[in-house]
Each structure stands twice: as C-alpha cells, then as structure tokens.
Amino acid sequence: MPNDLANQLYVYTDQDSIMALVAPSGWVCHADYKTDGSGGVSVYPGGEVLPPSPLAPGATARAIVASQTGGCAGCAVLQACPLFATAATAYQSVFSKPCPTARPSSEAVAPVSASTVSFSDPPGASGNGIPSGGAYPAHGVMTYHPQPNASSWLDTCTLPSSDQPICTVALNRFIASYGST
C-alpha cells in the first residue's frame, strides 16, 4: 500500500470474515448473505445510503461493493457471462438461451489472468460495475472459476477520478485475496 494512503484506508469485513474490503476509513460497512452462501460486502460514506445499481445519470454515489456467488452455479455463470466466454457458453448450455446481460461497448475490459478480468465503466455508462452509471467511473475486477463448482467474485470501486489510487489499492487487494478462489 502506498505510504500516502496507509492512514486513509481501512479493512472492512463481515462478522464471519467471509469477505474483506479495503476502503476509506470512516465509511460504513454493510454485509448481506443468502442461505446459498452468495452475497457480499458494501462500503460507503457514513451518512449516505447504500447506492442502487445502476445509478441514475449524474448520481455522485461513492462506494466499494463486492459480491460472490457462493454455492449458486447458475448465479456464477449469470454474473460472469458478459465478461467471460466460457461463462457465456455455460449459460447457453444450462439455460438454452444466450447470456441476458450485454456488455456495453463503452466498458473497457482487460484480462488479469485466465480467471480474472478488470473492467472500467466510464461516467454515465451502466455496465458490469455495481454500482455504475453515475457521475464517477466504476472500476472493477471479476473472477470466474468454472470448476469444480462454478463461482464468481466481483468488486467495484466507484469514486471520483481524483481517488483512483484508492480504487487501485482496493482492487489489487481484492485480486490478491479472491482472484484464485
């Protein structure tokens, strides 16, 4: 972690330590998990509410939101099919129809590894970032692991461009923790 950010960031986790996120200190943490194990952690400024996704155009919501699909293989292929060809093929095979979520042309995607991609949704573009579509860019990473049981993890950092170094630290920490899960 860069020294200039060390005093500005904190690690937030749910009560069972299933997932931990790096975000600005002083923010609020909310965790939500379902019986199948899917769910995640959202961190956002105190005094604000958990932002919806997609965001309304021009919305200035700031958040770092992560989710994982737990034991729901169908959820994994649904989440990952816009960004992973193998997930799109699995979705087609399981549900006999193409991936229902199209990746917007403005969304930039780059492979990190065979099972992890990074993406950026520009301001105003509602893409795979949760949340995205508001006034700030949404930078994120997604994993997809088809075997032994399909799983996918997603982390999105939606902050003003001036806070990009925070997103970089948060997303790199997420990849290090969950990129090979």
| Alpha helices (H) along the chain | 3-6, 73-80, 85-95, 164-178
Q: For 17-70, how does the pLDDT look when each residue is reduced to its tens digit (9 = 90+)? A: 889 999 999 999 999 999 888 999 999 999 998 888 899 999 999 999 999 998
Report whether pLDDT(76) > 90. Answer: yes
User: Rounded distance, CA 2 to CA 5, Å?
Assistant: 6
Averaged pLDDT for residues 158-165: 96
Question: Three-state DSSP class for 169?
Answer: helix
How high does pLDDT run on average in the chain? 93
Report whether pLDDT(91) > 90. Answer: yes
152 band by pLDDT with thresholds 50, 70 and 90 = very high
118 φψ region: left (φ > 0), alpha (ψ -120 to 50), beta (else):
beta
Report whether pLDDT(149) > 90. Answer: no
Report whether pLDDT(172) > 70. Answer: yes
Report whether pLDDT(83) > 80. Answer: yes
| pLDDT in the model for residue 42 | 96
Averaged pLDDT for residues 138-152: 93
Tokens of 132: 């995205």
181 band by pLDDT with thresholds 50, 70 and 90 = low
Cα separations in angstroms, 61 against 89, 116, 130, 158, 168: 34, 26, 11, 8, 18
What pairing do the DSSP bridges indicate for beta strands 116-121 and 108-113? Answer: antiparallel
Report whether pLDDT(97) > 90. Answer: yes
What is the DSSP track for 139-163? EEEEEEE-SSS-EEEEEEEE--GGG
| pLDDT in the model for residue 148 | 82
